[in-house]
């Protein structure tokens, strides 16, 4: 009897320790870090560096409803590499909405493409003016300046207000960043599906791209692609067709927070 009682007490203690470890792990993770994913199984929602329940407190998200076959397509763009017009043509053909997270250089050098994005119903999001490590900007004024300059340039180009969606450069974040973005009215958008498409000197083959983007797609996926990628531009038409054949539909990034 004593042994049974001791075992129960031991089990309870272990359970409490595990719960506390998970709690403190989540708390530590949200302090500062770089966004990452762990894929447990193909077709299933990956585990993010920070859980969605924690992100909810900061109006942040990395994935949609796991019960709906809906995808949220996003592109990050630090500069124009000659592929965006073709990407926009494919999106128009498939009637797929996308979000383009842009930096200051893109807004300054590609106003016509920015206007086309807006005209064709896409969302332009804030990827900061200079693409710095935002976790190092601990002063509210410095942080807000990075976002405000993008807002001002977007307004100058389009005559409209910039939609309040923010993506941290390189996925580097801190708790202070998330709080400051929230205070400025922004929703922070991470991602649940991406692959190594950003290095123009080492572009993946179409086969490698399809292997990752089809094998790891999952309901509610927030897809991160780079519009500078030659491979993405080449496969996008077929990729969207394949995703549709798999039963997926597409929604604007605003729907992620509804």
Q: Specify the pLDDT at position 30.
A: 58
- DSSP 3-state percent helix, strand, coil across the chain (nearest 5): 50, 15, 35
pTM, entire model: 0.87
Active site residues: 76, 226
CA distance 232 to 84: 10
- The yes-or-no verdict on residue 162 having pLDDT over 50 is yes
**The CATH number, out of the four listed (3.10.20.30, 1.10.287.3510, 2.40.50.140, 3.20.20.370), of the domain defined by the range 35-257:** 3.20.20.370
Residue with tokens 């585990």: 47
Q: Specify the pLDDT at position 9.
A: 36
Tens of pLDDT, residue by residue over 32-48, are 889 999 999 988 999 99
Confidence bin at 235 (pLDDT 50/70/90): very high
E strands in the chain: 32-34, 37-38, 47-48, 60-61, 70-77, 98-102, 123-126, 165-166, 172-174, 187-189, 222-226, 249-250
Burial of 221 (0-12, 13-18, 19+ CB in 10 A): buried
Strands 172-174 and 47-48 turn out to be unpaired
Per mean pLDDT, which range of 2-16, 119-133, 244-258 is the poorest? 2-16
């Amino acid at each position: 009897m004593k042994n049974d009682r001791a075992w129960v007490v031991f089990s309870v203690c272990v359970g409490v320790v595990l719960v506390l470890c998970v709690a403190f792990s989540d708390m530590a993770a949200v302090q500062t870090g770089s966004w990452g994913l762990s894929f447990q199984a193909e077709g299933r929602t990956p585990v993010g560096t920070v859980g969605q329940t924690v992100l909810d407190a900061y109006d942040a998200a990395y994935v949609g409803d796991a019960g709906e076959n809906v995808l949220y397509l996003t592109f990050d763009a630090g500069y124009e590499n000659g592929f965006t017009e073709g990407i926009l043509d494919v999106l128009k053909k498939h009637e797929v909405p996308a979000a383009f997270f842009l930096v200051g250089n893109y807004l300054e050098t590609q106003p016509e493409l920015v206007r086309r994005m807006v005209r064709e119903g896409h969302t332009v999001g804030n990827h900061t003016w200079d693409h710095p490590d935002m976790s190092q900007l601990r002063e509210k004024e410095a942080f807000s300046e990075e976002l405000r300059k993008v807002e001002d340039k977007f307004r100058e180009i389009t005559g409209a207000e910039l939609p309040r969606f923010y993506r941290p450069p390189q996925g580097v974040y801190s708790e202070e960043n998330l709080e400051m973005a929230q205070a400025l009215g922004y929703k922070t958008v991470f991602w649940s599906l991406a692959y190594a498409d950003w290095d123009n000197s080492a572009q993946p083959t179409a086969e490698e791209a399809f292997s990752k983007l089809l094998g790891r797609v999952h309901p509610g996926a927030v897809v991160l692609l780079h519009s500078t990628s030659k491979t993405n531009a080449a496969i996008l038409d077929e990729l969207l067709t394949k995703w549709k054949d798999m039963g997926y539909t597409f929604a604007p990034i605003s729907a992620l927070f509804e």
